[in-house]
Amino acid sequence: MVDVSAKDATVREAVAEAVVVLSAAAFDAVAGRNAPKGDVLAAARIAGIMAAKKTPDLIPLCHSIPLAKAVIEITPFPDRHALRIVASMRTKYETGVEMEALTAATVAALTIYDMTKAVDRGAVIESVRLLVKSGGRSGTYTAASK
C-alpha cells in the first residue's frame, strides 16, 4: 500500500459512470418497476453505495477512505433502452476517491444486470469510466466528451 501520510487531507471528489444497454423488454420492466426481482433502480443505488464503502475489501492495496458523500444517480435513455449510472464520491482525506466511484458505478451496473437477467441475459455493460476527479496535488481531471 502506498504511504500517503505525508499528504495533506484535502477535499477530494470523483465521478464515474457506467452504461447498461438492455433489451426493450428488460428496459420496460425496469421503467415500469415490474422486474421479476423487484425495484431494480433502488437496488442498484443501494448496491453502488455499499460497494463504494467496501472498495478496499475488493481492490488490493486500496486505502480505506472515510466517505463524506456517496450518491448514485441513474438516468434512463429510452431511445437506446439504456441506463446511465453516475456515481459521485467526496472525502476529506490524504488520497482520492476514484476507485470508490468506479467501483460504485460498476457494482450498480452489475446489480442491474443481475436483476434483469431473467428478462434479458444479453444486457451489455459498457463505458465504465472516470468522468471527473478533483483535489490533491494532481489537481482536476475531466474526461473527454464521448
Query: Residue for cell digits 495533506?
Result: 8
Query: Residue for cell digits 476507485?
Result: 99
What pTM value is reported for the model?
0.95
C-alpha cell at position 27: 428496459
Residue 59: the pLDDT is: 95
Q: Please state whether 61 falls in left (phi above 0), alpha (psi between -120 and 50) or beta.
A: left
Among 88, 17, 101, 6, residue whose Cα is nearest residue 59: 101
Residue 137: the pLDDT is: 85
Split into its structural domains, the chain has a count of 1
The strand pairing partners of 124, in sequence order, are: 21
Determine the structural domain holding residue 70 and report its residue range.
10-135
Low-confidence ranges of the chain (pLDDT < 70): none
Residue 138: the pLDDT is: 86
CATH label of the domain that carries residue 82:
3.30.70.640
CA–chain centroid gap for 27, Å, is 19
Q: Which residues are designated catalytic?
A: 114
